[in-house]
Structure 1
Amino acid sequence: MMPMGTSLSRWTMLYFGAALIFLLFAECLLSAGGWSPSVDVAEPRALIIVHAVTIGWLGMLMIGALLQFAPVLTGLNLPTSHIDVLGLIGLVVGLGLLLLGFYLIDKGSNAAGPVMGAAALLLLLSILSVSMVLASLLWRGRNAHPASGLVLIGIGCLAMTAAFGALFAVTLSGSIGFPSVIQFVSSAVPYHASLGLAGWTTFAAIGVSYKLLPMFLLSHDMKKVPFLARTGSIGIAFLGAAASSLFWPEAAHLFFLAASLMFGLTIIAYLNELYLAYRGRRRKSLELNTSGSLPAFAMLAISVALLVPAIALGARAHVITAIVYLFVFGWLSGLGLAQLLKIVPFLTWIEAFGPLLGRRPTPRLGDLINSRRSALWLGVFYVAVVAAASAIVLGSDLAFRAAAILQTMSTAALLCELVLVRSLANVDTTTKRAPFQQPAFFFAANKKGHANGPAS
């Protein structure tokens, strides 16, 4: 995954922890009936769940991962600063204010306006600060690996998503009363969501996986980055044109459909590259993170294949919602959870046992995690996601809630597995004899690739 000696991001593990907590929080709300297929997704209660997932879970997960893996893509180190931890604090506080703001809107409180304004400002500043640091690094090292360009596309979409979100937040709070702005905001939600889910998180995930999956599989490098970058950029341009044409609904719909078609071409090319990488791998037995990602790739293919005709034919809202649910939880969340089952053990092994390598026996990476149990819970998660999406299509609140409870239980179980990994609970106590020191739980104690200092 990473060359030995590569510096560890000090705060990546804390980003991961915050992301998982927000995911579990959102799923608990779903399990408790905070949203169901009979409720409009534009309701404030639903927006609490949506933003806990998109900003809290997916956003923090991806930023945390990029803080560690952007240097791997570029061969450069992040600039020395406190932007990473300050960005995390700003994201957590800003998101907390945003969720509180939606709650206050739901209750009809006059305090909603100031709270939403503060949330918008804090989130925008935090996202842009972290984005600028990552974008600067990826731009400077863009020639080291072509996938850097894909991540740059994602970061550009993140900045646009944040700008849209800030405008939406202050408008929903009632701070902006211009009819034209309100009309624009009410019509631009699909473009805001598309920039965040298809632009930011998907392109960032594709870019990182272009580097990491061949390493995991011992396969050849994937080589269609230029095509993905071109089609992706054209798709984003069409999406921008659609957002700019909102006062002409027919033109906006055509641009949005064109953007969806270009995104579909990008995904087809990406999935073909993945197929060739899996087929040509030299590591015949798949590890948990690579086998556990296969259902995520399948759900990416299914959701994109369904989305384009659904948009073209003007499908009903609950059908679109089900497809988006499958995309968000099946593709993005499934891939994220599967890769965390590799990334967390690896970073923990580097911290705990890296300095001891060659001086005494060390555990295998696979010893840090119970792969069989984790694979079971990951499988349950995917089954629950499919069941929940099916319940949305059928309009069954009861079936959806049952599936949401199962999804929440599986997520909680996977979180427990990652806690056991980070605490080295699965490692034999004799392996942890002096001079071993337990690594810090939420952060890397230094940036030299281990937490223990010298092994002597």
Structure 2
Amino acid sequence: MNQLPKTAPGMYRLIIIHYLISGLCFALLAVLLLLLSGDFPQHYFAPGTLAITHLAALGWGTLIIFGACYQLLPVLLECELFSIRLPWIILALFLPGLFCLVFSLWTFDPGLHMQVGGLLLSTSVILFCILVYKTASRSHIHSAYKDFILTSCIWLLATVILGTLLVFNFQYGFLPKDHLHFLRLHAHMGIAGWFLMLIIGVSAKLIPMFLVSRDQPAHLLSWSYYLINLSLILFIVDAYLNGLSAHTQLILLPMLAGLGCYFVYVRRCFRSRLKKKLDIPILKTALSIFFLSLALLLLPAIIHYAGVSNAWSVKLSSLYGMLIFMGWITALIMGQTFKTLPFIVWVKKYEHLSGKAKIPMPADLYQPRLLQLQYIAYLAFCLTFFTGFLLSYSTLMIIGAVCIIVAACAYLGNVIILITHKTTIKP
């Protein structure tokens, strides 16, 4: 397949609702970042930081991934989605769970609201995983994309279950080790297990599809899959038993090798592309890989400073989280939204008119000036906010937070323009 398929009746509205709500979460995230920027917490366990991190991971990242998966799973697995009703139930559970959790983390009230939020999110994730596995059971293909997606769901489930246990541990204190010990495991199951595995699986299909690449070396994806999972499993076991230690540096090597295989795969897709001109969404995707690389470069220093109990381990850990959520994931979503959503809208609005009238291209359905504004404001945010945090200079961080609000508004405005597009052409 070289394009996104026609959306099933009833699913189009669900998918665009996911894109819209995640865009609103991004805007809220930007505002909360501004509220904290004047006196930004230096420790990642501070209430404001926890609230923003979970809003970024769940409301901005995971929610839009859910919506995109309902469209992309039939492409990747070459079969119909198991159910068109179950995603609505998932969304109905996910949203109140998300806002209960984020609000209770922001006010740091580890009571009923936080616990209800954790249970609702866990239930919605369980249902999402059932949907993905039931859909995959209909598929007869065997591919690296399928392995990445199914395994990412296992890691997502483990992440949310551990997160829910941590929520109840605030009040009842039943876990055998301290909260920060398990928080480290929770974070990396989510980052490397859920986000990284899912993003590699989906992007390995979408990048060559959008670039029209001739060279797609599947063996590199297989090596990437096994090396990343091996490293993550070893990290979970070793970090639980020993915390961060000299072992962690060695365990990091298979992860880096697995990512290296993926980067080589992407590079070969770019070099063999038939579509030579790179648009802003693809440039954003390349920028996201750059931020991921920067975050990985911090890991040896974080592990070293943690081993000698140096305060820089906490500061660099916070910067690492920012590069992951506000760098890698945010740049990727902001870019890929305007590769996937225009196709979804175009198929709904114009596919039936193809060949019967002069119709616009998918890229004609959004405002390029807003896309440029979003890109420039986002780059300004990265330059000022990350530098300001590293130098503990609040003025730069405030400027950066204003820039990300501008970027979020431009992003949300373009999403609204896309999903409210009216067809005026008649066959």
Fold agreement, TM-score > 0.5: yes
Partners of 1:22 and 1:88 in 2: how far apart? 14
Contact 2:93 2:120 in 1 (8 A): yes
Cα shift readout 1:359-401 (whole Å, capped 9, x = no counterpart): 2221122211223441342232133123212211112222212
Deviation at 1:177, TM superposition (A): 3.1
Amino acid at match of 1:2: Q
In structure 2, the CA distance between the partners of 1:3 and 1:197, relative to structure 1 (3 Å rule), is closer
1:274 to 247, 259, 266: 266
Matching residue of 1:447: none
Contact 2:76 2:146 in 1 (8 A): yes
Cα shift readout 1:256-285 (whole Å, capped 9, x = no counterpart): 444433222222221111111111111111
Partners of 1:139 and 1:258 in 2: how far apart? 37
Cα shift readout 1:262-313 (whole Å, capped 9, x = no counterpart): 2222222211111111111111112332123221121122221232343244
Matching residue of 2:309: none
Amino acid at match of 1:296: S
TM-score normalised according to structure 2 size: 0.91
Contact 1:153 1:203 in 2 (8 A): yes
Partners of 1:135 and 1:40 in 2: how far apart? 38
Partners of 1:293 and 1:37 in 2: how far apart? 28
Contact 2:382 2:400 in 1 (8 A): yes
Partners of 2:294 and 2:258 in 1: how far apart? 14
The 5-angstrom pairing of residues 250-329 of structure 1 reads 253-254=245-246, 256-314=248-306, 315-329=312-326
Deviation at 1:21, TM superposition (A): 1.2
Deviation at 1:200, TM superposition (A): 0.5
Matching residue of 1:47: 50
In structure 2, the CA distance between the partners of 1:334 and 1:270, relative to structure 1 (3 Å rule), is same
Cα shift readout 1:227-274 (whole Å, capped 9, x = no counterpart): 0111011022113213531xx44xx53454444332222222211111
Partners of 1:231 and 1:36 in 2: how far apart? 40
Partners of 1:235 and 1:99 in 2: how far apart? 30
Deviation at 1:125, TM superposition (A): 0.7
Contact 1:296 1:334 in 2 (8 A): yes
Partners of 1:118 and 1:147 in 2: how far apart? 34
Cα shift readout 1:22-64 (whole Å, capped 9, x = no counterpart): 1211110111227844443212222211111111111111111
Partners of 1:153 and 1:160 in 2: how far apart? 11
Q: Percent identity?
A: 20
Partners of 2:88 and 2:356 in 1: how far apart? 34
In structure 2, the CA distance between the partners of 1:362 and 1:210, relative to structure 1 (3 Å rule), is same
Contact 1:264 1:305 in 2 (8 A): no
2:189 to 155, 171, 195: 195
Matching residue of 1:448: none
Amino acid at match of 1:12: I
Partners of 2:166 and 2:5 in 1: how far apart? 45
Amino acid at match of 1:170: F
Deviation at 1:192, TM superposition (A): 0.8
Matching residue of 1:341: 338
Higher helix share: 2
The 5-angstrom pairing of residues 19-418 of structure 1 reads 19-33=22-36, 36-105=39-108, 112-138=110-136, 140-141=138-139, 143-172=141-170, 174=171, 176-178=172-174, 181=175, 183-220=177-214, 221-223=216-218, 224-245=220-241, 248-249=242-243, 253-254=245-246, 256-314=248-306, 315-418=312-415
Unaligned runs of 5+ in 1: 107-111, 426-430, 436-456
Q: Secondary structure at the match of 1:381?
A: helix
| Pairing 1:2–2:3 present | yes
Cα shift readout 1:126-160 (whole Å, capped 9, x = no counterpart): 11111121133235537343211112221111011
